[in-house]
Amino acid sequence: MKFVDEAYIDIAAGDGGNGCVSFRHEKYKEFGGPNGGDGGRGGHVFAVADPNLNTLVDFRFSRRHEAKRGQHGLGSDMFGHAGDDITLKMPVGTIITDAETGDVLYELLTPGEVVTIAKGGDGGFGNMRFKSAINRAPRQKTPGWPGEKKELKLELKVLADVGLLGMPNAGKSTLISAISNARPKIADYPFTTLHPNLGVVRVGPEQSFVVADVPGLIEGASDGAGLGHQFLRHLQRTRLLLHMVDIAPFDEGVDPVKQAKAIVAELKKYDKALYDKPRWLVLNKLDMVPQDEREAVVADFVKRFKYKGPVFQISALTREGCEPLIKDIFKHIKAQQVAEQPPEYIDPRFVDPEPDLSK
Q: Which CATH number belongs to the domain containing residue 274 in this structure? A: 3.40.50.300
Identify whether 1 is part of a domain. no
Q: List pLDDT tens digits, range 197-211.
A: 777 788 876 677 788
Of 85-99, 156-170, 193-207, 269-283, the range with the highest mean pLDDT is 85-99
Give residue 98's pLDDT: 92
The answer on 305 and 279 residing in a single domain is yes
The answer on 185 and 152 residing in a single domain is no
Give residue 356's pLDDT: 52
Asked if 270 contacts 224 with a C-beta cutoff of 8 angstroms, the reply is: no
User: Is residue 95 pLDDT above 60, yes or no?
Assistant: yes
Residue type, 2: K
Q: How far apart are CA 248 and CA 250, in angstroms?
A: 7
User: Is residue 145 pLDDT above 80, yes or no?
Assistant: yes
Confidence of residue 338 (pLDDT cuts 50, 70, 90): confident
Asked if 42 contacts 173 with a C-beta cutoff of 8 angstroms, the reply is: no
Largest CA-CA distance found in the chain, in angstroms, rounded: 111
- Residue-number span of the structural domain to which 247 is assigned: 162-350
User: Is residue 78 pLDDT above 70, yes or no?
Assistant: yes
Segment 301-323 shows an average pLDDT of: 87
For 302, the 3-state DSSP assignment is: helix
User: Is residue 289 pLDDT above 50, yes or no?
Assistant: yes
Asked if 206 contacts 348 with a C-beta cutoff of 8 angstroms, the reply is: yes
Asked if 18 contacts 144 with a C-beta cutoff of 8 angstroms, the reply is: yes
Query: Which range (118-122, 209-213, 234-238) has the least confidence?
Result: 234-238
Q: How far apart are CA 116 and CA 112, in angstroms?
A: 13
Give kind and range of the element (H or E) at residue 106: strand 104-108
Identify whether 357 is part of a domain. no
Asked if 144 contacts 69 with a C-beta cutoff of 8 angstroms, the reply is: yes
H-type alpha helices, the chain? 57-61, 172-179, 256-270, 272-275, 294-305, 322-340
User: Is residue 233 pLDDT above 70, yes or no?
Assistant: no
The answer on 231 and 99 residing in a single domain is no
